[in-house]
Amino acid sequence: MAPSDGLPAGLRAAPLTAADIEGAKLLSAEARWNQVAADWRLFIELGQPVGIKRADGRLIATASTLPYGGRFGWISMVLVTAEHRRQGLATWLLRHCIESLQGQGLVPGLDATPAGRQVYLGLGFRDCWGMQRLVHQAAPAPDVAPPPGVTIRALRDTDLAALAAYDRPVFGADRATLLARLAARLKQAALVAERGGRLVGYGLGREGRVMNQLGPLAADDEPTARALLARGLGAVAGTPVAIDLADRHAALGAWLAGLGFKAERPLTRMVLGRDAAFDDPARLYAVAGPELG
């Protein structure tokens, strides 16, 4: 697909750069999404974001891909400002992202809202599993002891290699650079769980425009995941918090509901041309966010 083929007259598409961050922030704020400048920098530096601009240079639409470990790539940040919707821009951007990933030999994946899911099904995406965005306007600080033999502590820089190695089979691809970026975002909520000197879980988080997000969260078992999450919540107690929790971990969801978390919206993990995602369903409890996978 050529840079602007198929777009309405007067519009052009080009890769996003650092100079576009302020305009991109306006688009995500208009949509009431949670991204901050650090998120857009991440897409620009680690991914392949594209923007559509008017002749006057105003950014009116975006989308991004994030390649992961030579296996698959994530599609996200498909945004179109209100006055330019219903012109086919979102479809153009989505197809551009799909073609870009497939051209790199990567399987496209995404996390879909109910409305988006209907569009993606028509393009050949298939459902893999569901999750719920759970939110709390003033995060509690629950006291949960880890399982016997498990220690939870703050993540250190020297843990990053072990963290990436643990995460690789959990997520389904290498994302060491992304994890290192996230570890620096909300440091008080960056945690690891150890048993006998071996990493058996971790939790990260990041600040957002309207709330903190806790995730990804991965662990060998539910008691360890709960203890990690309790410690992470304590680190951001009193602030608005979002957690994108996999439906399959119903016990953890019930515990969060008992703490006052409310389901904001469902999301569906989807991949193109496959019936299964790449992740380990037993150990992946909460994702990094629909924009990151």
- Tell me, what's the pLDDT at 1? 46
> For the purposes of burial, counting CB atoms within 10 Å of the CB of 176, is it exposed (0-12), middle (13-18) or buried (19 or more)?
middle
All domains of the chain in start order, with CATH? 12-105 (3.40.630.30), 133-286 (3.40.630.30)
For residue 79, which of 103, 129, 113 has the smallest C-alpha distance? 113
Beta bridge partners of 133: 244, 265
For residue 60, which of 90, 89, 80 has the smallest C-alpha distance? 80
- Tell me, what's the pLDDT at 6? 85
* Rounded CA separation 89/112 (Å): 18
- Tell me, what's the pLDDT at 142? 97
Q: Provide the 8-state DSSP code for 85.
A: -
8 A C-beta contact, residue 76 and residue 30: no
8 A C-beta contact, residue 238 and residue 138: yes
* Rounded CA separation 244/265 (Å): 9
Strands (E), 43-197: 50-53, 59-68, 72-80, 107-112, 125-136, 150-154, 191-195
What string of DSSP letters covers 35-54?
--HHHHHHHHHHS--EEEE-
- Tell me, what's the pLDDT at 156? 98
* Rounded CA separation 25/21 (Å): 6
Q: What residue ranges of the chain have pLDDT lower than 70? A: 1-4
8 A C-beta contact, residue 14 and residue 7: no
